[in-house]
């Protein structure tokens, strides 16, 4: 099969999967935007700065103080628990070095939600 035909077949299969998922295309686009925004905030050295302590995704110069951010849905099946961890990890682990991003208002609620959306893709 030629590459053009292969790409057309994959695009058609993806379109069928999206339409068949029952999700409106706008919701899928919004989710994609939130994930991209979350990654941007997580990687931003002046915002989330998650790479200072964690190995994650394709980040450059990651730290090793915190655990690697992998298999996040399996590790935090309850999304609210993961959000609470980003908001203030000291509640679940009083000895943590992780900054309480929400409690200290270092990140907005929207930024924290976007980071959680992004983390759920890892």
CA atoms lying within 13 Å on the CB side of residue 23: 13
Cβ-based neighbours of 62, under 8 Å, separated by 6 or more: 51, 54, 55, 56
The whole-number pLDDT of residue 25 equals 44
The whole-number pLDDT of residue 57 equals 86
Q: What is the pLDDT of residues 91-116, one digit of tens each?
A: 999 999 999 999 999 999 999 999 99
The whole-number pLDDT of residue 16 equals 53
The whole-number pLDDT of residue 4 equals 58
CA angle 12, 15, 17 (to 5 degrees): 110
Query: What domains can you pick out in the chain, each with its CATH number?
Result: 33-119 (1.10.760.10)
Start-to-end Cα distance in the chain: 33
Q: What is the pLDDT of residues 69-97, one digit of tens each?
A: 999 999 999 999 999 999 999 999 999 99
Q: How confident is the model at residue 59 (pLDDT cuts 50, 70, 90)?
A: confident
The whole-number pLDDT of residue 103 equals 94
């Amino acid at each position: 099969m030629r590459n053009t035909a292969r790409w057309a077949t994959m695009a058609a299969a993806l379109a069928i999967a999206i339409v068949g998922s029952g999700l409106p295309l706008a919701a899928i686009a919004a989710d994609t935007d939130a994930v991209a925004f979350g990654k941007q905030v997580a990687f931003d050295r002046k915002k989330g700065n998650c790479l200072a302590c964690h190995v994650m995704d394709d980040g450059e110069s990651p730290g090793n103080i915190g655990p690697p951010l992998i298999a996040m849905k399996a590790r935090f099946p309850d999304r609210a628990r993961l959000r609470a961890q980003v908001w203030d990890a000291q509640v679940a682990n009083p000895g943590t070095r992780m900054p309480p991003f929400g409690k200290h208002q270092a990140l907005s609620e929207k930024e924290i939600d976007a980071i959680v959306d992004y983390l759920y893709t890892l």
